[in-house]
């Protein structure tokens, strides 16, 4: 079945450090890939997405590239800020090769990031 | 509405009692999802509604769990004879269509259920 594996946290970095959170997936079809973020005390919200191989999603200085050959969608940011402290979730959703959706989002277990000033 | 609304935000119940959790999706969203978030377990898919299609119930952990979506809008997740292991945050999300397309899923704040 489909699954998402992401690096376990917690991850603690100093401000302005480089961030990588690894995410790999297993899927039988043509998934769309997502990163969601959950800030303290807030609900989950979409950070970025990519819908086909070699697409790069980006938002708020974060980037992730859809790598079909390595089945990966690693999240990166060149210089983290204290305000980036949150839990980050990698997710996938299958889609038909003919377009259209096939159902639910499958999430990784989440990675907690803490950024120290 | 402006966002996905869930109620109650917190629920404490005694073991063996039934509970109902409510989700109001964003108006016009045809897809609705329920997830469970337990400490250290990530988000566990429970059930998915898409328009008038039969729901995908493959994630429901036992027959004590059920969900309805009336009129394609509001959804209620019911847990019967609650157990302590049911304690978790229950999240609802909605999207314009299935998440396989370029449609973002919007999440509610969740209901924190504690079974004592």
Phi, psi of B84 (to 5 degrees): -60, -35
According to the model, what pLDDT value does residue A111 have?
95
Nearest beta carbon to residue A43 from set B31, B33, B110: B110
From the CA of A61, how many Å to the nearest CA of chain B?
19
CB B56 within 8 A of CB B34: no
According to the model, what pLDDT value does residue A30 have?
78
Percent of chain B scoring above 90 in pLDDT: 64
The CB density around residue B12, as the number of other CB atoms within 10 Å, is 12
Among B47, B98, B102, B110, pick the best mutation site for testing chain A contact (most A Cβ within 10 A): B98
CA A31 – CA B31 distance, rounded (Å) = 18
Mean pLDDT of B27-44: 87
Q: Where are the beta strands (DSSP E) in A1-117?
A: 3-6, 11-14, 19-21, 23-26, 32-38, 44-50, 56-59, 62-65, 75-77, 86-93, 106-107, 111-116
- A16-55 pLDDT, tens per residue? 999 999 999 998 877 889 999 999 888 899 999 998 899 9
- At residue B5, does pLDDT exceed 90? yes
A7-21, A98-112, B46-60, B99-113 — which one is most confidently predicted on average?
A: A7-21
- At residue A78, does pLDDT exceed 90? yes
CA B44 – CA A1 distance, rounded (Å) = 14
The CB density around residue A52, as the number of other CB atoms within 10 Å, is 12
Q: Which residues of B57-85 are buried (b: 16+ CB within 10 A; e: fewer)?
A: eebbeeeebebebeeebebebebeebeee
């Amino acid at each position: 079945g489909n699954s998402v594996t992401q690096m376990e946290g917690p991850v603690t970095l100093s401000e302005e450090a480089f961030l990588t959170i690894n995410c790999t997936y297993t899927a039988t079809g043509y998934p769309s890939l997502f990163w969601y973020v959950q800030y303290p005390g807030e609900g989950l919200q979409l950070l970025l997405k990519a819908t086909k191989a070699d697409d790069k999603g980006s938002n708020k200085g974060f980037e992730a590239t859809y790598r079909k050959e390595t089945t990966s969608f690693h999240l990166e940011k060149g210089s983290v800020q204290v305000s980036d402290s949150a839990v980050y979730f990698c997710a996938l959703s299958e889609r038909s090769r003919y377009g259209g959706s096939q159902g639910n989002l499958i999430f990784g277990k989440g990675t907690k990031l803490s950024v120290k000033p | 509405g402006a966002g996905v609304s869930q109620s109650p935000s917190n629920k404490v119940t005694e073991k063996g009692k039934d509970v109902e959790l409510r989700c109001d999706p964003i108006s016009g969203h045809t897809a609705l999802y329920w997830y469970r978030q337990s400490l250290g377990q990530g988000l566990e898919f429970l059930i998915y509604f898409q328009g008038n299609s039969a729901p995908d119930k493959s994630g429901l952990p036992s027959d004590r769990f059920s969900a309805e979506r009336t009129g394609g809008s509001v959804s209620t997740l019911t847990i019967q004879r609650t157990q302590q292991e049911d304690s978790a945050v229950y999240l609802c999300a909605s999207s314009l269509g299935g998440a396989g397309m370029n449609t973002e899923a919007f999440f509610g704040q969740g209901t924190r259920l504690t079974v004592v």
